[in-house]
Amino acid sequence: MGFIRGKGRPKKEKKPTPMDLLKLEIAEELGLADKIKREGWGALTSAESGRIGGIITQRAKRGLIDLDALRGSK
């Protein structure tokens, strides 16, 4: 007893997806990249996360990005 699965183990580094890279690029534009690198995505407020999502949506509507391609949809 006393052993909690997953606690104390270092997180595995996952390879960033194209969507991850886009979100990080937008976060950099908004001045949030240092916060994310320091504390992780979970440290963002809902307003900050929403702003990133809103910019992605705006760019998709303008045809500047292809969301299906970023999500890996075929």
HSE, CB side, 13 Å, CA atoms: give it for residue 4.
2
**Residue 11 — very low, low, confident or very high, per pLDDT cuts 50/70/90?**
low
Which tokens go with 74?
A: 């075929």
pLDDT digits (tens, 9 = 90+) for 21-63: 999 999 999 999 999 999 999 999 999 999 999 999 999 999 9
Residue 74 has pLDDT above 70, yes or no: no
The whole model's pTM is what?
0.76
Q: Who wins on pLDDT, 60 or 10?
A: 60
Q: Who wins on pLDDT, 5 or 64?
A: 64
Which candidate, 8, 67, 42, places its Cα nearest to that of 32? 42
Number of Cβ within 10 Å of residue 23's Cβ equals 21
Which tokens go with 14?
A: 């996952």
